[in-house]
Chain A
Amino acid sequence: MDIKISEVKLSEEQAGKWGLVIDQDICTGCQACVAACAMENNLSFVGEEDSGYGRSMHWIRIERFWEGEYPEVKMTPNQPMMCQQCGSAPCEPVCPVFATVHSEAEQLNLQVYNRCVGTRYCANNCPYQVRSFNWRDYERPEPLPNQLNPDVTVRRRGVMEKCTFCIQRIHQAQDQAKAEGREVVDGEFTTACAQACPASAIIFGRVDDPESLVSQLGRRSHGVKHLEELGTLPNVTYFKGG
């Protein structure tokens, strides 16, 4: 097999790279993305006790802080946090069984559920703290399982999971395009969170395509990539606006 020791490519032009642009100025914090993600990706709900103990399974969460004190108090712009699909992900090398790896085709950070043995090292090493662990087999009483998306694996206890950029949708669109003998068109499909977002604060697309909406939006000034200083090469660009 001809495998060369990979060169570290740091550029946005990495072929096949998907990314998100999030406009915090128009994000209203309405949680539609969170609900959409849960429905699309078969997330378990964990109940009051576990969710209050940092064990909720949200793949995307909306952070908000406070600035100042009453009456000059302000809520900081809502900040949806999900897996940033780092180009150089700290979670990947620490997994002893290759359960989380970099995908060359999509330039995403994959989580292989059936390979995961549950050391949780990846979650510790994730600077964004966006990984959820299945602490238990969470109950999903009949007939709720009817709703489960057949394109997404249902995870059992002891397995790490995280946002996938709805990779099942990426593949479906690619397969469809291939069957029709064309390229995937920008905007042809999107992630569950971006699709639901009533404010269209989340935009998804190919960052390697300079013509895509996500690239055009990403080129606006004042875009921020979180914790970029760690060299993680995140694929999500934030605009605080205001």
Chain B
Amino acid sequence: MAEKKNHAEHAHGEEHLRKKHLMLDPLPRGQMNAMVMESMHTTSWKFWAVFGLLAAITAYGLFYSWGVMIAEGLGVAGVNRPAYWGIFLVNTVFWIGISHAGTFISAILRVFKAEFRRPFTRAAELMTTFGLVQAGFSIFMHMGRVWLSYWLMPYPNQRMLWPNLHSPLSWDLLAITTYLLSSTMYLFLPLIPDVAMARDRSTGWRKTFYKILALGFRGTEGEWTHLRNAMNIFAWAIIPVMFSVHTIVSWDFAAATRPGWNSTIFGPYFVVGALHSGMGAVIMVLAIVRGTMKNMKYFIRPEHFEAIGKLMLIISMTWAYFFFNDYMVQWYGGDKWTKQLLHFHEAGPMGWMWFVMLIFNVAIPWAVLWNRKWRSTPWIVFTVGLLINVGMWFERYIIIPISLSINRMPFTWRLYQPGIEIPLGIGTLAFFILLYMAASRLIPLIPVWEVQEGQMAHELKKYGRETVVTVSELE
């Protein structure tokens, strides 16, 4: 890059850098506030059309279909012997995976002070919370007697029956509950100053709404200190929680005695897989937000896609590493059922899925994301993110129903064919987008105060003839 710079470019270097980096392109806070407020208030007929459509899909796909399934039993779904688990758990793992990106961006990047995170931490955290809601729906759908699901909760009762803490599903319940609660709190804490901002420039029902949400926040030194401390604790503490959640989800499989599942590497493999799909989802959301919401081109710039694209590439490599690790050890072990299973993955009737998974998760990201220009182009990274999500969904599909088809009792092997899972799955997706659309018009999607804080910390500095970005640590 540097060697290709010509003089003209050099002359415009500073301007170029400012245009490129949000952090070097500050606007007055008031103007940024106004832009964010405007973005929340702007809805086109297209927005409402999509919103209405999604609401209809949610009503039918999620609530009506679920009602049917509760009334009729799981027979309307495609689960059978031996594939006792199907798309419901695929979706559960998928949504929990999606939810990992929010935490990764807002906690890990915050801890490591990766400054590019600032404008989209909230967009990513919203995904975490709403994704976990869908994961919750999916896991409850999966239960045969969902009306008794409260039996999984530990609560004192007259018979002194407590949940079985030997079961990975109990750990799941604890971990997902912990994660859902803490990620929601972690979404809420940095939101308080922004809703306070919105409160200050709203009228009518929105005023009331923001007033309630802002809890009376003014921005006093004390309030900021408590908030900062809390956010700091959260940023550190939520990272192990995040890792634990997907590790425990992986234990649902790894702790079982089934061939193909009983693998010690499943924990990190699942975590990385979660980040893989999560980052893909973040980049899709950002591309859509940038493309459809007003004023967002200022806040979300190619530099952000570029940075996330880089992360995606690294995660893709890590995923490939874990995948190969798992495959190698399973393959080498030589257990006849495992070998049969691996063969079934590749050559069975759903073998195409296995290859598509590898193409979408590895080949395409590697082919595209190494190029800075491509990974800075929103539609390209959007497409890559979409493919990664499809690929990661396939990965879970391969791990759950396809692997369940093969076991140690060949007399029972049988394929799984989804039934009502399809409308239900589409319902969760629609509901996720619906929640996100509603949230995008109700709460400030851009953490303005964080952006302003970042812009304060960044400046250009000249080293000889080179102008570079420097950032000072404010805290």
Q: Mark A residues whose CB is within 8 Å of B.
A: 50, 53-55, 61, 63, 65, 81, 90, 92-98, 115-121, 123-125, 127-129, 131-137, 157-160, 227, 230
A227 touches B149 (CB 8 A): no
Q: Are A94 and B144 in contact (CB under 8 A)?
A: no
Contacts A94-B169, A96-B169; A135 near B143 (Cβ below 8 A): no
- Min Cβ gap A150→B in Å is 24
* Closest beta carbon of chain B to A105's beta carbon, Å: 19
Interface size class of B (residues with CB under 8 A): 35 or more
- With A53-B80, A120-B79 known as contacts, the answer to whether A135 contacts B163 (CB < 8 A) is no
In the complex, which residues of chain A have a beta carbon less than 8 angstroms from the beta carbon of B161? Answer: 97-98, 115
For the complex, give the distance between the alpha carbons of A97 and B375 in Å: 48
Bound Cα distance A217, B161 (Å)? 41
Checking A94, A137, A230 against B167 with a beta-carbon cut-off of 8 angstroms, the contacting residue is A94
Q: How far is the CA of A155 from the CA of B80 in the complex (A)?
A: 17
Give Cα A121 to B410, complex, Å: 19
Given A81-B411, A96-B164, A120-B84, A136–B257 Cβ distance below 8 Å?
A: no
Chain A residue contacts of B173, Cβ below 8 A: 96
Min Cβ gap B89→A in Å is 10
Q: How far is the CB of A50 from chain B (nearest CB, A)?
A: 7
Nearest CB in chain B: distance from A119 CB, A: 6
B452 CB within 8 Å of chain A: no
A83, B184: Cα distance in complex, Å:
44
A35 to B255, CA, bound (A): 35
* B225 proximal to A (CB < 8 A): no
Of the candidates B83, B151, B410, the one whose C-beta lies within 8 Å of that of A117 is B151
Interface class of chain A by DSSP: loop
**In the bound complex, CA of A134 to CA of B145 (Å):** 11
Are B145 and A118 closer than 8 Å at their CB atoms?
yes
Interface positions, chain B 150-167, Cβ under 8 Å from A, are 151-152, 161, 163-164, 166-167
Q: Which residues of B contact A116 (CB under 8 A)?
A: 144-145
* CB-based contact B85/A124 at 8 Å: yes
Asked if residues B75 and A121 are in contact (CB atoms below 8 Å), the reply is no
B258 close to A124 (CB less than 8 A): yes
Q: List 24 A-B contacts (CB under 8 A).
A: A50-B75, A54-B81, A54-B412, A55-B80, A63-B409, A92-B166, A95-B164, A96-B173, A97-B163, A97-B164, A117-B148, A118-B146, A124-B256, A125-B256, A127-B407, A129-B82, A131-B81, A132-B81, A133-B81, A135-B73, A158-B73, A158-B145, A227-B408, A230-B257
- How far, in angstroms, from A21 to B89 measured CA to CA in the complex? 38
Q: Which B residues touch A123, using CB under 8 A?
A: 81-82, 84
B152 close to A96 (CB less than 8 A): yes
Task: Give CA–CA (A90, B382) in the complex, Å.
Answer: 44
Given known pairs A81-B411, A116-B144, A117-B144, the reply for A129 and B164 (CB within 8 Å) is no
Which residue of B82, B143, B168 contacts A118 across the interface (Cβ within 8 Å)? B143
B257 touches A117 (CB 8 A): no
Q: Judge if B404 is at the interface, Cβ distance under 8 Å.
A: yes
**Which residue from chain B places its CB closest to the CB of A137 in the assembled complex?**
B73
Residues of A within 8 A of B167 (CB): 93-96, 121
- A120 to B258, alpha carbons, bound, how many Å? 14
Give the nearest-CB partner of B164 in chain A. Answer: A98
Question: For the complex, what is the distance from the CA of A121 to the CA of B76, rounded to whole Å?
Answer: 19
Q: Give Cα A152 to B84, complex, Å.
A: 25
Give the Cβ gap from A158 to chain B, nearest Cβ, in Å.
3
A135 surroundings in chain B (CB, below 8 A): 73-75, 79-80
The verdict on A157 contacting B408 (CB below 8 Å), with A53-B80, A115-B151, A120-B85 known, is no
Given contacts A55-B75, A123-B81, A133-B81, contact A117 B256 (CB under 8 A): no
B294 CB contacts on chain A under 8 angstroms: none
Among residues of B, the one whose C-beta sits closest to the C-beta of A130 is B409
Contacts A94-B255, A97-B152, A128-B409: A117 and B143 contacting too (C-beta < 8 A)? Answer: yes
Which residues from chain A contact B73 at a C-beta distance below 8 Å? 134-137, 157-158
